Structure 1
Amino acid sequence: MAKNISAEEAQKWLIEEIAQRLSVAPADVPPDQYFDELDLDSTQALIIAGEMESWLGFELGTTALWYHPTIEALAAHIAEESQKHTAAA
């Protein structure tokens, strides 16, 4: 079931997950840095995407990271999609 997630909640979740995967402090993951500039490999990125969709309760489009290439931008997109999914439920 989809939850209503704010951009702040999504950003915090993404930063914490990425920090954990990179073995760095969350403060060391800038929300305005492009995903492709982070030291995540494709396997880690896929795992995070899968966990995120489980957490959200809905799938993000396959182009979400392409059109929203930073944590900040993706978090805002997640909040918008979350509102749509909870309104439709």
Structure 2
Amino acid sequence: MANVTAEEAQKWLIEEIAQRLGVAPTEVPPDQYFDELDLDSTQALIIAGEMENWLGFELGTTALWYHPTIEALAAHIAEESEKRIAAA
């Protein structure tokens, strides 16, 4: 399992969201709230599932609630990744 940095997680999230919305990655601000993005709940669940596959660990159902922006979620993912590496 590789350590995922906040920058890597943020880049991944922005690219996935941009692809789903049909916009350029530069049009997805990292400090915008997920509920302000034009994603429906199905798309959000698909992205969350794909992210867990990419990461190799589960984020938990409350991750988006407690970390409601791309920037905040990316920082959380980096912390979780570090914890899992340290515990391995």
TM-score (normalised: structure 2): 0.97
Deviations 1:18-71 (A, max 9, x none): 000000000000000000000000110010000000000000011000000000
Specify the alignment match of 2:67 in structure 1.
68
* Structure 1 unaligned blocks of 5 or more: none
Specify the alignment match of 2:21 in structure 1.
22
Task: Return structure 1 stretches of 4+ with deviation > 2 angstroms.
Answer: none
Specify the alignment match of 2:35 in structure 1.
36
RMSD: 0.7
SS at match of 2:4: coil
Question: 1:87, CA displacement in angstroms?
Answer: 1.5
Percent identity reads 88
Specify the alignment match of 1:54 in structure 2.
53
Partners of 2:32 and 2:67 lie apart in 1 by: 11
Provide the aligned length of Structure 1 versus Structure 2: 88
SS at match of 2:30: coil
The one-letter code matched in structure 2 to 1:11 is Q
TM-score (normalised: structure 1): 0.96
Partners of 1:58 and 1:88 lie apart in 2 by: 13
Specify the alignment match of 1:6 in structure 2.
5
